[in-house]
Structure 1
């Protein structure tokens, strides 16, 4: 049989496997053909229309059972036997051939349909009972009835007026063969497949069969419409004996009803042929559906009951086994509880120590990273630090911006491998060391040599990568040395690229190493970006893919505000919001001063005076002002700013603004504060203003409650004159 199988007392439907020997295969074909022929001769003895239309056609049931048990390869036996039966009773060889084709096609289609829906020949489910009644018999047999009745009309064996009656008798006969014969043949193998009946069960089966036969004979020959009295007997057989009892009883009831219809006895007397066939088919369908459906229902319930009992037994065994295991486990757990209690105490102490170490490391790193970028006139600086979201420990990423003598600016970014207190402590030592070495000698080689010796002397197990950059605003030159760190990125409208050169291994890896530095020009408006590897490294991507992504993203930001540039790079390269490693980055951009007014807003602090004078000198130089004029203007502006620092705010903090513009060959310098000047002491006061007037063409001082504004003007010479 084809189709799906369901778990039951047999793993799959039994199919008689045809042996490979050709002789045995031929014997099976001959046996099926002979059974078909004999069944046909029996059915033709009950013919009602001509010689070949009978209300009982056993060959249809024989053919369907053969296809389901032996396989569809039995169709030649069915076809040849059908042709042999139809040749003597047909109008010619062609009608006989067509009729034989219909007789073969109908059960073959029924077998295919039943196999496709997973039919089981044991008829042990309600679906199987419904399928053989409605699909195997009532639906599929319309094929042979339609072909056969149409052939009789075409061959002029019957008139067109007799087509409906002939079709009804033909359909009834074929369907009756399936409903009565096929289940009986399918139940025969069950007698040796299932457990054998005891003697009492055989006796009960005999009583049921005899009682069914007696009732069927009496009701079929009586003038009263009492055929339904056989249904309780069929229900008894289905309930007590399932298919092995229901199939023979149903076959006997159907045969007797068919015999009564052919002889026009009992309920079939005095009615038309069509009415007789409809009544007979309704009775046979009811008998088959009642018997097989009830038998399948009882079989399902019995199978479920056996499965439930088996599951209960298995569950009891598993409960007993599990109880013994739990008892042993409970004893073992009692022994382990004490050990776990001691271990928990140790873990609590270790957790407290780890938490305290984490808090120390977090506080240490928070205080070591710059809380704000320094105010450097003429230079824009921005930085970002993003801690890892997947790691509770503090990392070793850090950065710094150092203002050095001679207006030099040091940029440093580093990464101490590892996390926790040890990495944070190493970061703190290195950050302070970089500042100390840079103050003593700001050159990249000197700073890196000092750090190399420090890392070798310190008990530092982690690897350290570091990139140190020295920027000179006067010349626009950057000098840098890279100790195993990702390369700096130069973002320029002309060409965005990574800065190569000055490469060296990570700090402390080698005993001795001669560091070298690389030099590059950083024009005003270009951006230098330093970062740690967390920005470009991902577990699913190579480091080169990360560098390519950063280069592509940075190339598209152009001249965006420096803070916006940092935020955009971070948001674009970390779209998921998850950061597997710490990210630190710092960016520096020399501002474009030439061709636009200069505006500085700085703290009124003496330490800012040099930066202000330097920014003003750079603006005058880039604006093309003669060196002598530029120097004298720088002195005058410096004196005005010094007065603000000394007199405007006293001990309280404040700020000052410097604005410079070039209008038609005249430089206008404005120094503004928001404080209240202290009164002159009378000892040397007022000399600063005299100096300013001597170095400029005009000076206007405006003092009010909101502060003081000094406006200085001087005509200058533009060009290359010295």
Structure 2
């Protein structure tokens, strides 16, 4: 198994080095080698230096063409053929091997350089013509000329005085082989790849080739320097036939000129070897550059013209198609304009209806939310409602503070998901229902059960969350239940935390109702904060991050006034002073009564009497007064306050002030009003004042046009006193 794995990995490693079709490649290598050998024999027949330096070396052009067409994998055929050619004409195997190396390396380097510059074998661009002349022929062939002449000098085949001439002849021969043979071989595949010529084009090509042969042959025999007369014929071939006509004509002109140079005929007579090679190289380079550059230029222009004609035809078709599309679009637009007009009319009606609904909802919400917090003796309450700053419909956030019998206080806050008239209407119904249910049975579970049934009967489409808290100022006990609403926050010197108990799903979500209540003590001076989700929800923060921010801000401001606390939270929590959703806040704080005088200022209304008695009882209890004395003082205060409500103001509203303080185990209680007392009716009354005198140690009454002040005193047992 290990041997098989090793063989498999070796096969994968050698696979990139082996051609995909080895048999076809071998045949191509053999054919390239044979062509190289035959071209070498032809070139050697034109030798000028020691029968191995020739001014035209066709094998270099054959090798470069093979590398460009078949790839660089043809190098074994070129190397073997070069060695076979040089062995018989070299002084030994080493010079033959070095010469073969130079003959192989020069066209291989030329092919690599041409590939690096993006050469195309079709020679259909000007840059391709320049590249094959200057990079493929003139530059790259210096490699083979340098290696070959140094080898001849090292093997003492030539002397030092012959080095420059031999190098010039060698370089000329290899370069001329590339300039004359390579383009000719590269144009042969084009007869199959490009559009076939008609008979007239073949006839024209034959005429150009015959005229070129005749003209170059004549100028090669005459002593006059007229070789340049061949250039117009080559320009004709390049202009009319491009590379397929220019390459054969250039090859014929190069062969005739080279043969004339080797025979020292015409313009090459009576010149040194170096001068002959320079003249021949200049002529051949000019022929190649003119022919191939002009052919590439004409090909580019023809391709551009063809592309322009194709683009024009395509553009014409697209214009026709686009005209038809525009016509169809115009008809469709007319229909759409008519439909849009009808739609706009409907939208105008719908917008007017929506605007009316918005106004109704806004008015409903504004009128249903409490315009001010109730005056509750011994307790401070603050609230805020902030609508969203975005252009949204009125939301369903609401809150309420309800004074109940027995001095109980109900706090409720809720959120009907959604906006608009439907949410505002649902909010109004729920707020009124909470008041009704709380009056009937104020316990949290009873109120939530009633709301649950109401939501199911009303079929409210949106989700409804409610938090209900029942607070007893006498005991400081809170009972609450939470139906899917954000938890209440309790702020105390001992810490700030959320009330997590009494949790239940939002109203109406489940068919079965299962509400439970939780209990928590709220000591004097602590703060209870109820809020809606608009205060903690932010697009860039999670709900938990919003809750943490609320705790941090509330803890930072501590025991500040409730109004200042609400203002601080509303200014600190929203981002960039933008409120994404409605915000409702309700804050409640029992006052610290012990150790300080009691001062209450409330409306002179009958329903406030109960709250006054509870506040006074709580102050007396926290001040250490025993239950018996506290009860009798509360009765006396209640009678005095009742007299103010019945007699001080009549039909017009007024205020009632109650002050109490503890001085040396004596309670001093003051009840003050600013009204005019009505004359007592002769109905046998006056029992209240007698009761007050009986319960208190002393009673002083000061009555005048600006009000009445009653000061009552009683000695009490405080703490452990009897």
- SS in structure 1 opposite 2:247? helix
Q: Could you say which residue in structure 2 is the equivalent of 1:12? A: none
Note the 1:307-386 alignment, pairs <5 A. 307-321=307-321, 323=323, 342-365=342-365, 368=368, 381=382, 383=384, 385=386
Residues 46-91 of structure 1: CA deviation (Å, up to 9, x unaligned)? 4455554444332222222222222332222122222222333445
Cα distance between partner residues in 2 of 1:522 and 1:274: 118
Partner Cα distance (1:630, 1:111) in 2: 117
Task: Tell me what 1:202 maps to.
Answer: 202
Contact 1:602–1:608, Cα closer than 8 Å, also in 2:
no
C-alpha spacing 1:510/1:679, structure 2 compared with 1 (3 Å): closer
- Partner residue in 1 for 2:178: 178
Shift in CA distance, 444/314, structure 1 to aligned 2, threshold 3 Å: same
Between the aligned partners of 1:63 and 1:598, the Cα distance in structure 2 is 118
1:483/1:507 contact within 8 Å kept: yes
With 57-66 and 583-592 compared, the bigger mean Cα shift is at 583-592
| Structure 1 match to 2:447 | 447
**Structure 1 residue 604: Cα displacement:** 9.3
> Any residues of structure 2 matched to 1:493-642 within 5 Å, and which?
499-510=499-510, 513-522=513-522, 528=529, 530-532=531-533, 535-536=536-537, 546-554=542-550, 556-557=552-553, 559-561=555-557, 562-563=565-566, 564-571=568-575, 579=580, 582-584=581-583, 586=585, 588=587, 590=589
Distance 1:446 1:147, change over 3 A: farther
Q: CA offsets per residue over residues 470-498 of structure 1, 9 Å max, x none?
A: 34566554332122334445677877665
CA distance in 2, matches of 1:611, 1:159: 134
Q: State whether residues 168 and 274 of structure 2, in contact with CA within 8 Å, keep that contact through their aligned partners in structure 1.
A: yes
SS at structure 2 position matched to 1:469: strand
Bigger mean CA deviation after superposition, 302-311 or 276-285: 276-285
Q: Is the 8 Å Cα contact of residues 180 and 288 (structure 1) preserved in structure 2?
A: yes
Between stretches 372-381 and 306-315, larger displacement belongs to: 372-381
Could you report, residue by residue, the CA deviation over 1:166-222 in whole angstroms, capped at 9, with x for unpaired residues? 555544443333332222111112223222222322232233333434444455666
SS in 2 for 1:195: coil
Q: Counterparts of 2:130 and 2:602 in 1: how far apart (Å)? A: 97
Structure 1 match to 2:469: 469
**Structure 1 CA distance for aligned equivalents of residues 677 and 355 of structure 2:** 59
What corresponds to 1:58 in structure 2? 58
Distance in 1 separating the partners of 2:217 and 2:373:
113
Matches within 5 A, 1:254-273: 254-259=254-259, 262=262
Instruction: Say whether the 8 Å CA contact 1:398–1:584 is kept in structure 2.
Output: no
Q: Is 1:481 matched with 2:462? A: no
* C-alpha distance in 2 between matches for 1:114 and 1:597: 104
**Match for residue 3 of structure 1?**
none
Question: Which residue matches 2:298?
Answer: 298
TM-score, length-scaled by structure 1: 0.71
Q: 1:42 to 1:507 in 2, by over 3 A?
A: same
Distance, in Å, in 2 between the alignment partners of 1:653 and 1:275 is 134
C-alpha distance in 2 between matches for 1:46 and 1:181: 16
1:111 matched residue in structure 2: 111
Aligned to 2:515, the other structure's residue is in SS state coil
Show CA shifts across 1:10-37 (max 9, x none).
Answer: xxxxxxxx99775544322211111111
Q: Is the 8 A contact 1:224 1:267 kept in 2?
A: yes
Gaps of 5+ in 1: 1-17, 670-676, 697-715
Report what 2:35 is aligned to.
35
Match of 1:710 in 2: none
Q: 1:119 to 1:384 in 2, by over 3 A?
A: farther
2:542 aligned counterpart, secondary structure: helix
Instruction: Tell me the distance in 2 between the aligned counterparts of 1:576 and 1:294.
Output: 75
- Shift in CA distance, 21/504, structure 1 to aligned 2, threshold 3 Å: closer
Larger Rg: 2
Aligned residue for 1:479, secondary structure, equals strand
CA contact (8 A) 1:416 1:427 kept: yes
CA distance in 1, matches of 2:600, 2:100: 109
2:213–2:253 contact (8 Å) kept in structure 1: yes
2:53–2:166 Cα contact (<8 Å) kept: yes
Q: Provide the secondary structure at the position in 1 that maps to 2:415.
A: strand
Taking only aligned residues, the RMSD between alpha carbons, in angstroms, comes to 5.7
Contact residue 535 and residue 570 of structure 2 kept, 8 A:
no
The answer to whether the 8 Å contact 2:137/2:176 transfers is yes
Are the equivalent residues in 2 in contact too, given 1:492–1:558 (CA < 8 A)? no
SS at match of 2:412: strand
Residue 504 of structure 1, CA deviation: 2.9
Residue 431 of structure 2 corresponds to residue 431 of structure 1: yes
| Structure 1 residues 240 and 385, CA gap change in structure 2 (3 angstroms) | farther
1:560 aligned counterpart, secondary structure: helix
1:226 Cα deviation after fit: 5.1
Matching residue of 1:101: 101
Render the CA deviation track for 1:541-563: whole Å, top value 9, x for unaligned: 9xxx9343334444544622344
After TM superposition, the score normalised by the length of structure 2 is 0.71
Deviations 1:649-670 (A, max 9, x none): xx9999x9x99999xx9x9x9x
Query: What is the DSSP-based 3-state SS (H/G/I as helix, E as strand, rest coil) of the residue aligned with 2:470?
Result: strand
SS in 2 for 1:586: strand
State the Cα deviation string for residues 604-643 of structure 1 (Å, max 9, x = none). 9989999999999989988x8778999999x99xx99x99
Structure 2, unpaired ranges of 5+: 1-17, 558-564, 681-688, 699-715
Rate the CA distance shift 1:212–1:457 in 2: closer, same or farther, 3 A. same
Report the 3-state secondary structure (helix = DSSP H, G, I; strand = E; otherwise coil) of the residue aligned with 2:500. coil
Distance 1:386 1:222, change over 3 A: farther
Matched, 1:413 2:409: no
Change in CA separation of 1:447 and 1:124 when aligned onto 2, cut-off 3 Å: same
